[in-house]
Chains A and B, each alone.
Chain A
Amino acid sequence: MEPATGLKLDFNHKLTLKEFPYIIRWREDRCKRCGQCTAVCPQGAIRPAVKYMRVIESSGETPKPRPVRRIIHVIEQVNDIEHYCTGCAICSLVCPNNAIEPEYNPQNKFLFYKNRGGEGYKRGGRRNDPGVSTLDRLKFTRISMLTDPALDAARHEFRLRSYIGRILPPEELPLKVEDGRLVVDKSSGKFIPPVREIFPIMIGSMSIGALSPTMWEGLAMGVAYLNEVEGIPVVMCSGEGGFPPRLLKSRYVKYFILQIASGYFGWDSIIHTLPYMQEDPAAIEIKYGQGAKPGDGGLLMAPKVIKLIAEIRGVPQYVDLPSPPTHQTKYSIEESVMKMIQSMSMAFGFRVPVYPKISGTRTAKAVLNNLARNPYAAALCIDGEDGGTGAAYNVSLDKMGHPIASNIRECYLDLVKQGKQNELPLIAAGGIGKKGNLAANAAALIMLGASAVAVGKYIMQATADCLGDEYNRCNICNTGKCPRGITTQDPKLYRRLDPDKVAERLVEVFKAADVELRKIFAPMGRSTELPIGMSDGLSIDDKAMAERLEISYAC
């Protein structure tokens, strides 16, 4: 039956804006209709519209309100779920008159509708848990005072350095005494594994391809500056997807950890460049898992595979690049660990530490114990559930994974039992600096047993003014439309990001973290070595957590 008026009365299958996570607040009186907001909206959630409306007007010498019908220009939010507002607020940033802003709608029913076509909702970026993490609940309570005077963070010498690489236990060092002096016994033929000294906070794996050229360049410049000018040996992991050959041949490659993941993207060109490399990379990271989406593979979507990326990765342009969840040629942990670590070590002449990265999981100890018996394994990186990602299913991000705090602690204590706590460094990742407390979170993890921490998400937030947060705000890294120009390959978008500014901020972030770490360690009387496993320095206001982490309870 046709409606009598000619208008459609059936509005079923339409959503009201109340269902959406963000509702755009637009002020008609302030807006001068410049159109900047609609032009920059990465989601297309707002659009300029023309409406024929009845309005009340007052005019004349003795104004009298009267209704008139008029054509007006408005900014309206679309109520199409494919163009939902993510709350990135880039519209507010460009608006000259503060006429527009998104407002969070806690009653939203977004997840009920965001799985059209039988495809689960995917998003980029962060885990959607805005709660306070265990790391943020940990306090440093062992403060030196009188019997053990506090050190001076500004005056005393501090050594905030850590190692990646297998460290031989003292009993196995090939040493002999000659004339009252220890010398290395060359005749023993003992293999001394390579070890690198690094700043205990490293930049976690974010690939060229996932990051825009300007973002990656900014980070790389910052890392080089930190090492060569500031003398802070920060290293950065390349992520999967290869490395620019020009950089591989340069001396700067020593500040980078090359990652090999299950897609092996870019490794063809790395292997071919090997004979021409003048420096060794800092390390090789073999990725088996990622904290944000454990047991899941990676994906670089077709729109991001532009010419540069296609060249580095050795693939055609504009095709989806999925990495499988496992290394397809390996079917067991023994094989994966043994073969991959040994073959990668051999490729780099046993001069480069090679270590695996796994997701935080209850099975982490199985991997750890396997590595502990492998003399070529250089470390173990464990990525907790709060880690970030470029693209993942919502359900993986929110519901899968293991928090890093108890995982790293358990693994450390396991190594202590075996007497290998200094032999096999543990690198903790996932959610460090989630609330902005980079140094405090890093220090807490170090005192729980990590030799170093890897940070990715915080670095993006801090160096490129990323708009996203743990409330699912923005987090459209997976769409290739990053409004800041961080995770996009669209020149119109990434040109918004100044690589020099990124580099500058990166340097500031690490210098500040360096100062803050001293400010934490000095009052605890530690300065000459990193307080790895100094669990007596930590407390938490929850008895069960204290028991689980084997630290003290304080309230």
Chain B
Amino acid sequence: MCRLAAITSSEYFSPIENILALETMKEGHDGSGLGLTLKNLGGEFKELKKYPILSGICSRKGKEILDDYMKQLGFKLIHEWMPKIKPVRGVIRRDYYFARVYDYPEDWKNKSDREKEDFLMNTRITLRKMGEADESIFVFSFYPDIVTLKEVGDPLELAEFFGLDKDNLEAKIIFAQGRQNTNYQIYLYACHPFFIQGYCTMTNGENTAFVPIREFLMSRGFPGYMGYNSDSEVFCHILHYSARQLGFPLTYYKDIITPLKWEEIEQRPDREALSLLKMSLRPLCIDGPNMVIGFTPDGTCFMVQDAKKLRPGVVGGVKGKYALMSELCGLDKVIPERDRLKDIYPMKYDMVIVSPGAKKVKVWNQLPA
């Protein structure tokens, strides 16, 4: 079972905080991979917020292909961050790790945000497909103010490998996953967190409803619903589908993945709409043991449980800094000064929502009070 460490803060902080939290939860991950997604970036990205950042890994050959393709589309490279690699035993170094900031092609500059988002996503998908066969290009995200870093190995060793403790890479929201490899082969794209057009999630547990959910999402005709090297990637896409594509408020994410029973729906003021959702979105209901942590484009972070609450999860912190963790020890490591009595252990009906800027936390309950 993977271990998850998400921190949202009003101040910039380093991803090493997340990594150290993962280290305290070490018995829960086997060091088969690390994923990091950073949002609201500081440091050298602070002044570049409106430009899209392409995060990925390339071989030498892949770099040439990537450069050619981006040039052909008309993207202008305006900044590049590359980790200062320090060789570490057990981590196989690849040629180029990068987060590249691009300026939009001329004819895309004045398009709407939605059109730009689609363009960025399609570019990322094309690049991914170009490098998939020979593993020459891996791209994880292409979006403004987002950096994603993934590699196979132990989180602490990888932090050292990437030099994260010395780098000035920092952000206000950082999600990290220490991977416990389960039923699938160890593969970079299978590392959480997953990101699509501003929406991001990571999960501990295994999704037994994966195949019907994947089929349902893929049949929606949206090009971004692809990949699925991990059964957990669908959680991110369900979030994107419900919030962006269908335009539902965030709390309906919980109603979709863990629908209420009919008699419980009756207690809700929006029962009519909820009844329709329960039927129409039946294939997206999750059944496996899962705890999902995610963020939305405005910086709201949340945590939800599957209906049986078979996976742990805890949220706690102080005003201006909250952590959403899969284990209490991770939370103790990150925010030891908090009032522990106010820690939240979400139950089956709960959705813990931390507002943008980590100002306040609330527990939304599926059943009306």
* A positions within 8 Å CB-CB of B: 142, 144, 147-149, 151, 156-157, 159, 163, 167-171, 173, 175, 177, 180-184, 192, 195, 197, 416-422, 524-529, 531-536
Contact A182 B273 (CB under 8 A): yes
Residues of A within 8 A of B162 (CB): none
Residues of B within 8 A of A534 (CB): 208-209, 211-212
Q: Does B279 contact A (CB under 8 A)?
A: yes
Picked from B245, B272, B279, the residue with its CB within 8 Å of the CB of A184 is B272
| Given A142-B208, A184-B273, 10 additional A-B pairs, CB 8 A | A157-B308, A167-B279, A183-B270, A184-B276, A419-B220, A419-B221, A525-B208, A528-B307, A529-B283, A535-B211
Q: Does B75 contact A (CB under 8 A)?
A: no
Contact A148 B211 (CB under 8 A): no
- Chain B 97-117, CB-CB to A under 8 Å as 1, else 0, gives 000000000000000000000
Task: Name the 4 nearest CB pairs between A and B, nearest first.
Answer: A525-B208, A419-B219, A148-B206, A182-B273
Contact B261 A148 (CB under 8 A): no
Interface centre among A170, A531, A536 (most CB of B within 10 A): A170
Residues of A within 8 A of B246 (CB): 170-171
User: Contacts A422-B282, A536-B210 known; A528 to B258 CB distance under 8 Å?
Assistant: yes
- Taking CB atoms and an 8 Å cut-off, the chain B residues in 181-219 that contact chain A are 182-183, 205-212, 215-216, 219
Residues of B within 8 A of A533 (CB): 211-212, 215, 283
Considering the chains assembled together, what is the distance between the CA atoms of A397 and B84 in angstroms? 75
CB A191 to nearest CB in B, in angstroms, measures 13
Residues of A within 8 A of B261 (CB): 157, 159
Considering the chains assembled together, what is the distance between the CA atoms of A149 and B287 in angstroms? 11
CB B320 to nearest CB in A, in angstroms, measures 25
Interface centre among B212, B216, B269 (most CB of A within 10 A): B212
User: Contacts A168-B280, A170-B281 known; A149 to B273 CB distance under 8 Å?
Assistant: no
Picked from B206, B212, B221, B245, the residue with its CB within 8 Å of the CB of A532 is B212
- Chain B 248-290, CB-CB to A under 8 Å as 1, else 0, gives 1101100000110110000001101110110111110111110
Contact A173 B277 (CB under 8 A): yes
Nearest chain A residue, comparing its CB with the CB of B221:
A419
Considering the chains assembled together, what is the distance between the CA atoms of A296 and B37 in angstroms? 63
Considering the chains assembled together, what is the distance between the CA atoms of A226 and B262 in angstroms? 19
Considering the chains assembled together, what is the distance between the CA atoms of A488 and B273 in angstroms? 49
Picked from B221, B280, B288, the residue with its CB within 8 Å of the CB of A148 is B288
Considering the chains assembled together, what is the distance between the CA atoms of A151 and B209 in angstroms? 13
Q: Does B20 contact A (CB under 8 A)?
A: no
Contact B308 A156 (CB under 8 A): yes
Q: Does B90 contact A (CB under 8 A)?
A: no
Residues of A within 8 A of B307 (CB): 157, 528
B: number of interface residues (CB 8 Å): 48
Listed by A's residue number, 19 A-B pairs whose Cβ atoms lie within 8 Å are A148-B288, A148-B289, A149-B289, A157-B261, A159-B261, A167-B282, A168-B280, A182-B270, A182-B274, A183-B273, A184-B272, A418-B219, A419-B216, A422-B280, A526-B209, A531-B209, A532-B283, A534-B208, A534-B209
User: Contacts A163-B279, A525-B208 known; A422 to B273 CB distance under 8 Å?
Assistant: no
Contact B270 A529 (CB under 8 A): no
- Taking CB atoms and an 8 Å cut-off, the chain B residues in 299-320 that contact chain A are 307-308, 310
Picked from A170, A529, A535, A536, the residue with its CB within 8 Å of the CB of B280 is A170
Picked from B219, B252, B258, the residue with its CB within 8 Å of the CB of A416 is B219
Q: Does B1 contact A (CB under 8 A)?
A: yes
Considering the chains assembled together, what is the distance between the CA atoms of A175 and B246 in angstroms? 10
CB B236 to nearest CB in A, in angstroms, measures 17
CB A397 to nearest CB in B, in angstroms, measures 35
Residues of A within 8 A of B249 (CB): 177, 180-182
CB B265 to nearest CB in A, in angstroms, measures 12
Residues of B within 8 A of A171 (CB): 220, 245-246
Contact A173 B272 (CB under 8 A): no
Nearest chain A residue, comparing its CB with the CB of B251:
A180
Considering the chains assembled together, what is the distance between the CA atoms of A421 and B211 in angstroms? 13
Considering the chains assembled together, what is the distance between the CA atoms of A142 and B207 in angstroms? 12
Nearest chain A residue, comparing its CB with the CB of B205:
A148
Residues of A within 8 A of B182 (CB): 147-148
Nearest chain B residue, comparing its CB with the CB of A533:
B212
Contact B208 A524 (CB under 8 A): yes
Contact A536 B211 (CB under 8 A): yes
Contact A167 B212 (CB under 8 A): no
CB A143 to nearest CB in B, in angstroms, measures 10
User: Contacts A147-B206, A148-B206, A182-B252 known; A529 to B282 CB distance under 8 Å?
Assistant: yes
Contact A529 B287 (CB under 8 A): yes
CB B268 to nearest CB in A, in angstroms, measures 9
Nearest chain B residue, comparing its CB with the CB of A170:
B280
CB B306 to nearest CB in A, in angstroms, measures 9
Considering the chains assembled together, what is the distance between the CA atoms of A524 and B208 in angstroms? 7
Nearest chain A residue, comparing its CB with the CB of B247:
A177
Contact A183 B272 (CB under 8 A): yes
Considering the chains assembled together, what is the distance between the CA atoms of A183 and B247 in angstroms? 13
Picked from B205, B247, B274, B287, the residue with its CB within 8 Å of the CB of A527 is B287
CB A423 to nearest CB in B, in angstroms, measures 8
Contact B287 A170 (CB under 8 A): no
Considering the chains assembled together, what is the distance between the CA atoms of A526 and B277 in angstroms? 20
Considering the chains assembled together, what is the distance between the CA atoms of A528 and B262 in angstroms? 12
User: Contacts A182-B252, A422-B283, A525-B288 known; A531 to B270 CB distance under 8 Å?
Assistant: no
